[in-house]
Amino acid sequence: MSRSVLIIGGRNTDHGESEVMAGYASYFIKGVKNVTASYAHFDDLSFVIAPDRFAIYDHRNECSLDTYDLIVFRGKIRINNELAYCVSRYCTLNNIQFFNDYTPYRPASKVSQAVTFHELGVQFTKTVYAMRPDILRRVVETELTTPFILKDSYGSHGNDNYLVNSFDAAVAILNDSSEKKFIAQEFFPNDCDYRILCIGAETFIIRRRANRESHLNNTSQGGTAEIVPETFFPSVSIEQAHAIASDLRMGIAGVDLLYNENTGEYAFLEVNSQPQLNSGAFPAEKQEVVRRYINLLLDRVTG
Query: What is the CATH classification number for the domain harbouring 197?
Result: 3.30.470.20
Asked, for residue 85, whether it belongs to a domain, the answer is yes
Tell which residue, 245, 248, 254, has the closest CA to residue 277: 254
Strand partners, 198: 203, 253
SS3 72: strand
Both 22 and 91 in one domain: the answer is yes
Q: What is the pLDDT of residue 250?
A: 94
Which segment of 95-99, 215-219, 252-256 scores lowest on mean pLDDT?
215-219
Average pLDDT over residues 91-110: 92
SS3 161: strand
Inter-helix orientation angle 81-93/110-120, to 10°: 20
Average pLDDT over residues 283-290: 95
E-state strands within 177-244: 182-186, 193-199, 202-209, 224-228
When pLDDT is cut at 50, 70 and 90, the band that residue 303 belongs to is: low
Asked, for residue 74, whether it belongs to a domain, the answer is yes
Both 162 and 244 in one domain: the answer is no
Both 233 and 144 in one domain: the answer is no
**Cα separation values, 136 from 46, 128, 169, Å:** 7, 8, 13
Decide: 200 and 290 in contact? Cβ < 8 Å. Answer: no
Query: Chain-wide mean pLDDT for the chain?
Result: 90
Decide: 271 and 255 in contact? Cβ < 8 Å. Answer: yes
Q: Is the pLDDT of residue 125 over 70?
A: yes
When pLDDT is cut at 50, 70 and 90, the band that residue 6 belongs to is: very high
Both 288 and 230 in one domain: the answer is yes
Both 294 and 202 in one domain: the answer is yes
Which amino acid is residue 205, in one-letter code? I
Both 202 and 154 in one domain: the answer is no
Average pLDDT over residues 1-22: 89
Q: Which domain covers residue 91, as residue numbers? A: 3-107
Both 97 and 68 in one domain: the answer is yes
Strand partners, 53: 50
Both 213 and 175 in one domain: the answer is no
Both 262 and 278 in one domain: the answer is yes
pTM of the entire predicted model: 0.90
DSSP state of 25: H
Both 268 and 200 in one domain: the answer is yes
Q: Distance (Å, rounded) from C-alpha 136 to C-alpha 167?
A: 10
Which amino acid is residue 116, in one-letter code? T
When pLDDT is cut at 50, 70 and 90, the band that residue 16 belongs to is: confident
Q: Is the pLDDT of residue 34 over 70?
A: yes
SS3 76: coil
Both 173 and 267 in one domain: the answer is no
Last residue of a domain, one of 76, 107, 138: 107
Both 197 and 160 in one domain: the answer is no
Give the percent of the chain with pLDDT over 70: 95
Domain CATH number, residue 181 = 3.30.1490.20
Q: Is the pLDDT of residue 166 over 60?
A: yes
* Side-by-side strand order, sheet with 45-50: 63-64, 53-58, 45-50, 127-130, 182-186, 148-152, 161-164
Total domain count for the chain? Answer: 3
Q: Is the pLDDT of residue 160 over 90?
A: no
